[in-house]
Amino acid sequence: MAEVSELGLISKVVGQSGAKETLARSLHSGRLAPVQLFVGPSGVGKGQMALALAQILLCERRGSKPPLPPMTSVTSGSAAAPTTPTSELWACGVCGSCQRVARRESESLLWLEPEGAQIKLEQAHQLLEFLSLKSWGESRVVILAGADALSPQAANALLKILEEPPENSFVLLLASQLAAVLPTLRSRSQVLRFQPLSSEELRQALALRAQSVGADDAKAKDTAQAEAFPDWILEASQGRLDVAEQWLDSELLETKQVFFSSLNHWLSGQLSLTDLMESLNPHLSSLSQGLFVSGLLQQALRDALFVRFGLEPLIHSDQRPLLQTLAASNKLFDQVEESFQLERDLKANVERRLCFEALFYGWAQASRGALGRAR
Ligand SMILES: [Zn+2]
């Protein structure tokens, strides 16, 4: 029955065919390394894949040999969907265990993530206890999100169990950057790389997300309109679902509108620097907002370089007049560098308004004569 297999969480993991193939091969040979390290940017499906793998490992019907997934026996000749589970990556999706895992309520699954900035020692102890108290033959899965945020004490406490986990125990470590994971943890893990999603995969992931959230949820409705999204949102999201969802926030869309329109008016001499800062100020009230605006600036400058060299695609193709003005500046390369310095300053908690004002003041000084119109 097709509807059964499609309930398995793996069918909701978009893209990441390389990681799926590796996992399928390991499962097929019965040699899945008990410690897995999923590495890749946030918002590309590491957590989803970990939960899906937990469901597969804990499914009550997996038994000795999983049945062929119904999707491979479909004879209609329709092309396989990109989310088709590879045959070994299979969970029934309906047994008690599968359902509890999907709700993250399984007694055989422990999900840990950083409390504050770090995974603390007491959380490491929680993991040790969880794996040591299991009964004979029982399978258990730990998902540890933020393996690059383990406190040194917590990492130390885990070394031994990661060296030799109890039988039928699996530890799935998730991290954004391999370099940030302690080498002693890396060496104990099978490393799986996760890639940014393509625009098409991102579109699919947004649509799937919209289906899975309640229809009365306002945010879900926003997400449901994902298909109607201009391509620039998919481009600007860098293949990350979390960033795409951030773009769905209407306040940020308004910030984008205000920033580009005031910058354009300032560069064309219709606004003074004071006016520019007046209109930007309400959009700089938190660090994340400030970083969002500096990100917009970086994207616009990146696009300006593309315009200058006749490259495609542009992230903000709806802002062509502004991009052409920026592309014409003979300080463009300096401005790109300054936009990265701006980001560093913001992260170092330099006063936000001051950061932006100093940057634009510098532009105006440098362009006296050269860019002429900016003041
Ligand atoms: Zn099951």
pLDDT given at position 312: 86
Residue 38 amino acid letter: F
Q: What share of the chain is helix, strand, coil (3-state, %, to 5)?
A: 55, 10, 35
Instruction: Compute the distance from residue 56 Cα to the ligand 1 centre, in Å.
Output: 7
Instruction: Compute the distance from residue 353 Cα to the ligand 1 centre, in Å.
Output: 54
Superfamily of domain 2-193: P-loop containing nucleotide triphosphate hydrolases (3.40.50.300)
Sign of the CA dihedral with 292 first, then 294, 298, and 299 last: positive
**Residues for the chain: how many in total?**
375
pLDDT given at position 81: 43
Structural element, H or E, at residue 265: helix 250-267
Instruction: Compute the distance from residue 62 Cα to the ligand 1 centre, in Å.
Output: 7
Q: How many CA atoms lie within 13 A of 200 on its CB side?
A: 5
- Using one digit for the tens of pLDDT, what is the confidence trace for 330-372? 999 999 999 999 999 999 999 999 999 999 999 998 876 544 4
Instruction: Compute the distance from residue 228 Cα to the ligand 1 centre, in Å.
Output: 35
Instruction: Compute the distance from residue 107 Cα to the ligand 1 centre, in Å.
Output: 14
Rounded distance, CA 185 to CA 63, Å?
A: 31
Instruction: Compute the distance from residue 95 Cα to the ligand 1 centre, in Å.
Output: 4
Instruction: Compute the distance from residue 153 Cα to the ligand 1 centre, in Å.
Output: 36
Instruction: Compute the distance from residue 7 Cα to the ligand 1 centre, in Å.
Output: 9
Collect the ranges in the chain with pLDDT lower than 70: 1-7, 63-86, 212-230, 368-375
- Using one digit for the tens of pLDDT, what is the confidence trace for 22-77? 999 999 888 899 999 999 999 999 999 999 999 999 999 876 444 444 444 333 33
Which residues touch 139 (CB under 8 Å, ≥6 apart)? 57, 58, 108, 168, 169, 170
Instruction: Compute the distance from residue 2 Cα to the ligand 1 centre, in Å.
Output: 14
The CA-based dihedral angle spanning residues 350, 352, 354, 356, taken in that order and rounded to the nearest 10 degrees: 120
Instruction: Compute the distance from residue 151 Cα to the ligand 1 centre, in Å.
Output: 35
